[in-house]
Structure 1
Amino acid sequence: MSTNEVRVNTRRLAPAAPGARVTRLELFYDLVFVFAFINVTTASAKTLREGGVLGSLLVLALLWSAWTGFATLGNVIRADRGIMPLFGFATMAVIFVASVSLPEAFTDKPPGLPGDLVFVGCYLVVRNLQLLAFWYALRNDPRLRPRWHRIAVPPLVTVSLLLLAALVPHRLFDGDAEAAVRAGLWVLAIAVAFGMTQQTRFQGLTVVSAGHWAERHAQIVLIALGESIISLGLGPGLDTGLPLTWPIIGAATLGIVVIAALWWIYFDSRAIAGERALHRVHGPARIALARDAYTYLHLPMIAGTILFALGLKRVLAEIGDPTGIGLHERVDRLDAIVLYGGVGLYLLAVLGFQYRTVHRVSRLQMVSVAVLFALIPLATALPAFGALALLAVVIVLVATVDSVRYRHHRRLLRQEKFDEERALEAGETEWRRRYLEQQHTPREDHPPEAAVAP
């Protein structure tokens, strides 16, 4: 889309350009989501058997819906110009408070403020800030003004359902029935947030910069993988005072191997191919591809990475057990499910992304995901270190076979990306050279001091 398709208030703002990339301020915004992801993992690790994983995934889905509002706004107007940074900083503060409330966001536990209501209130404020930012930026476009009341409906419905989940179930139900009703209301709220919101958010708009959209989502995947590394470093510290041992060093190395393989599977070529596919389409087709491949399919990538980080944290705690019991006993069944299931969900989402962008997925790739899930029963028969080692071997084999089998296509794709980057760097260097020369060239009305007679 050209920037004149949407009438941005250019008096104090700068519309995004088709070649726009992610700004540093947007990266700064994402720092608060690092903290949110860490809290999601921490809360799940403490309540794994009390439905903590389900609750954390539901909270993660709502955080994701808030983050996609960031991405959409930054794709229409530059996030670092005019008044937009103020909206961003305010949103960061609210997201931080919501992240602090995450351990009690799904089920409140006294004492203290009601965490579920705090989270709902923060979610409401974030969505209102995003709506206000869109209104301020695009209020001069006559096509969009009549649609603001429709854009505001999905967040209102979502918040209403979340309020019902926080206030009603514990008054009418007990035990499992209360948890089931609460979870059902959350699922319905998330369905509204993703279904109705995505249908109305881009009405009258499109994805201005395919590069910005793809890069923005790739960086949030990097944040999730970084959270796995943080879990790797903090895992043995779940119990204070654990000594550094060879099993912990070996397990940490295996964890890095798995994380590196997950990075390779997505970023080596699929992320490049996805961005290329987004560049090739325009209008409604680009909107649909951006929604399906990025807004929808990147969420299970993030969820899978968070689940893997959770499993990694718990497995490392078992391996670091000072009594040595964790090195010999079988890994906990739920820990194995979370560890392998998280990686499997990530791979499944990556293959879904590949199919939606390039319309091609091989049987071997699907078999590799099926094998990973099928190995869960075998993993439960192994000690924690053995289960992690088996996972590392399998995921490295998947990445290696995938790279070797499609090495020709991968080489062409990466060379094309490299040539593009070199061309952009050369263009930027030439522009900077001309700009600096212009700045240092004396103008006729301001001659150099040496040429002025005393």
Structure 2
Amino acid sequence: MRSRWFHKPTIHTAHSEHEKRAGWLELFYDLIFVASFIQLGNALSDYVSIERFVGFVALFTPLWVIWTGFTHFANRFDVDDFMHRLMVFLQMFSVGAMVVTVPQALAGNHQPFAFACSAALLLVALFYLRTHTHQTDARDSTRHWFRIYLVAASIWFVSGFVPKPAAYFGWFLGVAAVITAPLGSRSRALAERYPIDFEHLSERYGLLTLIVLGESFVKVLAALTQHAELGYIIPSCFGLLLICSMWWIYFDDVAGSHLRKSPLAYPLWLYGHLPLQFGMIAVGVALKKVTYFDMWEIGEAKYRWLLCGSLAITFFAAALIDSVSERKHAELSDHLRVNVRLFSGFVILLLAAAGGAMPAIWFLTMVAAVGIIQVAFDMMMAPMEEHQLATPATTLAELAKQDKPQNTHSRIPDVAQAVRRGTPSNYRSDLYVYFMQGSWTSLLLTAVTVFLLLNVIFASLYLLVPGSIENAAGKSFADAFFFSVQTMSTVGYGTLNPGNLYGNIVATVEAGVSLLCIALITGLMFAKASRPRASVIFSKPILLTRYDGKPVLMLRAGNARGNELMDATITLSMLRDEFTEEDIHVRRVHDLKLVRNHTPFFSLTWQVIHMIDEESPLYGMEWEEIPNQVVVFMATIMGHDGTYGQTNYARHTYQPEDLRCNQRFVDVLSNLEDGRIMVDYEKFHQTVPLETEKSKEEA
């Protein structure tokens, strides 16, 4: 039992036995930052300009640094007594003072904000000082961080007595003293000695991001409640869709990723959250403004640029975090998600310029489409839920020791559907493999999306310089888009032409991109369409029966297409659970020798027979026990397909429940009146009881 009035702080690291979760005090502490974000957002909303946006970032950064300082202290140490709570409340009051003085700081009165920030930073230093005084563990770490925050607090305090613009330079130095600290050799050495609990830290930054997104959501809904009309509902829906897309990007990708083993991985992950979170706040401000757009008129430029610029900052920050983290259980390489974020940020910036030549509804549709593409890519990259892969229910070795017939179905693996966990990023599938293995629908939808997106990009590029397209109707996005389509498809009707040097340069680049894209998509579609597909049918049951009076394992194969499958070879194998003398579970593959495993010409059916003699792995096993001892039977046919001119493969897996004893296959070959042979595939899988001499005598 610990005293609630006072107890010594204890160090917590990634190697600590107990799992650390966000506490109630930390969640309560976050509430003051909700007020600060709302205040900063309102200050930016009142007057949107480049100068005000710079001021918004400059005031957000020290708030973020203070929150980060407290969060890192709470991550490193466990303490929750009266003194600690009192110090946390005092810091909350200091942050509240910063929030109250934001309008004064933006108006030019920097002293109140500087003194409040100095007090908040000083309290972070006192957290470390108190810990350094009351416990002996990790004193080198507490001493180091106490000095850093004390220096930062002192710089901010002195800046309150210095006139502008020297005071702002002091603010920069005060923030830089904390932000650059993790890059120092001393900080990195201490981080290796006392590793942070990254799971707790990731949870804390996720909660802060959730607060930021919630604040943006509230701004859009607040604007909608004031004007609940159809003209305002449509842009509000686009805004809410964008916020949901940002939530998806962060919590389905960034929040669930793991840091790479690199010296700069953690600092870049940490610094990436700063632009990510102020970008999200600015997006919320912009969405509130675009809610008032007339859907059929061109939106105001400063609000378009605020929306697109903030979104681009968010995407670029997500790309920075993705570049130093690894998403496990994903099917595609991590490099792809970084490139998608960067490319999306570039497209969003182009849409800000192109938005001056199109109605607001089309502008918002395209911006929202970029967010939807992010979600679609995320579903492509990781279609499996991670929590389902966290702990396998039963290992194969445990299943192998089960000797119950009712469990045989659950322990039979389908190799084609195997889930690969923890695959290194460099060995995952690329887009070529993904589309070759995927459906035609996914390939065609991707091709259409890329086609439209490229034309939107080049149309936006043409609009950057007036007069780039000759005979176009002013700054018409529609004319620019259709001119891009004509250029990319090499149609060129002759009405629209490049109007200046810049237009010719963009058209030249587009023609080159068009040639590359057409070559890639043509090659991919041709490879997918011309890929040989097996026409071999395997019988659903596999028989344990007698043939010429001898026990055999039998199956049937047929060439359903009836084309030429030359020099065909078949193999039959058995997979069985076994244990070594050291009680190590292994799954051994045993080849089953066939009566005939090769045929020069396979166009009808093939009776595949394995004799169960002294050389057979099945010899001596009771037929009733085989389903409990054999994991799976695997049949594979390989031959040269005369239609495709390529080697063709076909395989089939027989589970133990597919075994039938003392049965024979129904004959499927017959002669027609004109002399041709007919193969009746309706009876291909049918079997009947085997009539032996003994059964005939009994009859």
What residue in structure 2 maps to residue 307 of structure 1? 282
CA displacement at 1:55 relative to structure 2: 0.5
CA displacement at 1:400 relative to structure 2: 0.7
What residue in structure 2 maps to residue 194 of structure 1? 179
CA displacement at 1:185 relative to structure 2: 4.8
CA displacement at 1:84 relative to structure 2: 1.9
Change beyond 3 A, Cα 1:117–1:103: same
CA displacement at 1:385 relative to structure 2: 4.2
Match of 1:416 among 384, 389, 398: 389
Q: Residues of 2 paired with 1:64 and 1:24: CA distance?
A: 20
What residue in structure 2 maps to residue 49 of structure 1? 49
What residue in structure 1 maps to residue 505 of structure 2? none
Query: What are the residue-to-residue correspondences of 1:272-421 with 2, within 5 Å?
Result: 272-274=256-258, 277=259, 289-293=265-269, 295-316=270-291, 318-319=292-293, 326-358=294-326, 360-362=334-336, 363-404=339-380, 406-407=381-382, 411=384, 413-417=386-390, 419=391
Q: Residues of 2 paired with 1:25 and 1:50: CA distance?
A: 37
Change beyond 3 A, Cα 1:201–1:73: farther
The yes-or-no answer on 1:139 pairing with 2:112 is: no
Does the aligned pair in 2 maintain the 1:207–1:213 contact within 8 Å?
no
Q: Residues of 2 paired with 1:154 and 1:160: CA distance?
A: 10
Equivalent residue letter for 2:75: N
Change beyond 3 A, Cα 1:387–1:168: farther
Identity %: 22
CA displacement at 1:227 relative to structure 2: 1.0
CA displacement at 1:137 relative to structure 2: 2.1
Change beyond 3 A, Cα 1:59–1:191: same
Greater displacement, 305-314 / 197-206: 197-206
Equivalent residue letter for 2:125: L
Change beyond 3 A, Cα 1:351–1:146: closer
Change beyond 3 A, Cα 1:53–1:392: same
Partner of 1:411, secondary structure, is: coil
Change beyond 3 A, Cα 1:312–1:168: same
What residue in structure 2 maps to residue 246 of structure 1? 230
What residue in structure 2 maps to residue 451 of structure 1? none
Partner of 2:257, secondary structure, is: helix
Q: Residues of 1 paired with 2:206 and 2:318: CA distance?
A: 12
Match of 1:234 among 216, 222, 229: 222
The yes-or-no answer on 1:128 pairing with 2:125 is: no
Q: Residues of 2 paired with 1:413 and 1:150: CA distance?
A: 38
What residue in structure 1 maps to residue 249 of structure 2? 265
Does the aligned pair in 1 maintain the 2:36–2:99 contact within 8 Å?
yes
CA displacement at 1:21 relative to structure 2: 1.2
Query: What are the residue-to-residue correspondences of 1:172-191 with 2, within 5 Å?
Result: 184-191=169-176
Change beyond 3 A, Cα 1:350–1:40: same
CA displacement at 1:193 relative to structure 2: 3.0
What residue in structure 2 maps to residue 36 of structure 1? 36
Deviations 1:133-188 (A, max 9, x none): 12212324557657767545544554565567655555xxxxxxx6xx66555444
Deviations 1:236-275 (A, max 9, x none): 57xxxx542012222222211111111111211332123x
What residue in structure 2 maps to residue 448 of structure 1? none
What residue in structure 2 maps to residue 4 of structure 1? none
CA displacement at 1:204 relative to structure 2: 3.9
Q: Residues of 1 paired with 2:227 and 2:7: CA distance?
A: 60
Q: Residues of 1 paired with 2:242 and 2:365: CA distance?
A: 9
Q: Residues of 2 paired with 1:149 and 1:207: CA distance?
A: 16
Deviations 1:190-244 (A, max 9, x none): 323311376476774534422111101111111111111111122357xxxx542
Match of 1:219 among 195, 207, 224: 207
CA displacement at 1:33 relative to structure 2: 0.6
Does the aligned pair in 2 maintain the 1:55–1:183 contact within 8 Å?
no
Structure ranking higher in strand proportion = 2
Greater displacement, 121-130 / 248-257: 248-257
Structure number with greater Rg is 2
Does the aligned pair in 2 maintain the 1:351–1:361 contact within 8 Å?
no
Equivalent residue letter for 1:59: L
What residue in structure 2 maps to residue 7 of structure 1? none
What residue in structure 1 maps to residue 61 of structure 2? 61
Change beyond 3 A, Cα 1:415–1:48: same
Deviations 1:353-397 (A, max 9, x none): 111112932244432222222221112334444433321122112
Q: Residues of 1 paired with 2:131 and 2:244: CA distance?
A: 40
Equivalent residue letter for 2:62: L
Instruction: Tell me which of the two structures has the higher relative contact order, counting C-alpha pairs closer than 8 angstroms and 6 or more residues apart.
Output: 1
Does the aligned pair in 1 maintain the 2:156–2:170 contact within 8 Å?
yes
Q: Residues of 1 paired with 2:384 and 2:335: CA distance?
A: 18
Extract unaligned runs of 5+ from structure 2: 1-5, 327-332, 393-699
Deviations 1:408-434 (A, max 9, x none): xx52634335x49xxxxxxxxxxxxxx
